[in-house]
Structure 1
């Protein structure tokens, strides 16, 4: 007699990606108050309604907010981590996020397999192994991230005063071209977007 095998096909928890679009808490790893990569996202999120924690190895404050040396030092659960550190530091940052039980990560940092350089390809392979062995969700590397036009969450550089809310969501291959398209559609054509 064959034994019945029961499969748990309830992936609702695993497939719920709301923390990417409406995170209850955010850590910006590599937050910056200097005009460089990460400056605008850091400034926007720290001054938004979203509970945001800047993480910086050497600074005690970022835009007047307490900065943490490591995501592990944050005394709160974190829904979403936005990683802006150099590519050589990303793998460790992701490992720290896994240890912190972060639900999702956006890696905006570039310099991985797309370079064709063996060392950087290895970094990306390490990231893939971390994802396979954990329940963490990652968008990236080398991306501008997520924008939700309804709650005005963005990990990118979006001027919500110039956008129109609507029912269209886009997933562009290029973040820069996606942003140009959104600007053109919102300002010139009054086409609204959701995400």
Structure 2
């Protein structure tokens, strides 16, 4: 099977946005290799966020890398990017080839089990390129991923397979929320890489 065949790319949103599911872009051997490498080499830290003025520290761990050491603010917390590692550069190149987009940063999430997730939100930080693509690469455990339209409340669910790529673009962030719902059925970790473009102008 041709992993880069356009026939398997599908926009999963019915309207008001484009979110293309590219399916599996890393085979099992590649996926397992990068999963283990990232577990061992990424500078993981518990995430911090300001919620109603109170600092919250999450169970899940995060890391932020980029093509330069620029700063990035989300959820009221400013982070400074570490420089892309060799493995992240290789994955960025693969994702850019598959998606036809370019990226200059990557926010990584480490969910230790299904009990850790992410609430509904949209990635609308001012530093992000307006209507720019956000490419989500999944390693490790398979997890359900949900979208909810901001007006109609229509919900779309998709199972993100190990080694798969999901690309949110166009006006998706303006019109849809997304989340990673917690589950008691998953006991192993998942690493999620979200490649994005910081507007440096």
Q: Same fold per TM (> 0.5)?
A: no
The structure with higher relative contact order (CA 8 Å, sep 6+) is 2
Structure ranking higher in strand proportion: 2
Q: How high is the TM-score relative to the length of structure 2?
A: 0.29
- Which protein is bigger by CA-based radius of gyration? 1
Q: How high is the TM-score relative to the length of structure 1?
A: 0.30
Structure ranking higher in helix proportion: 1
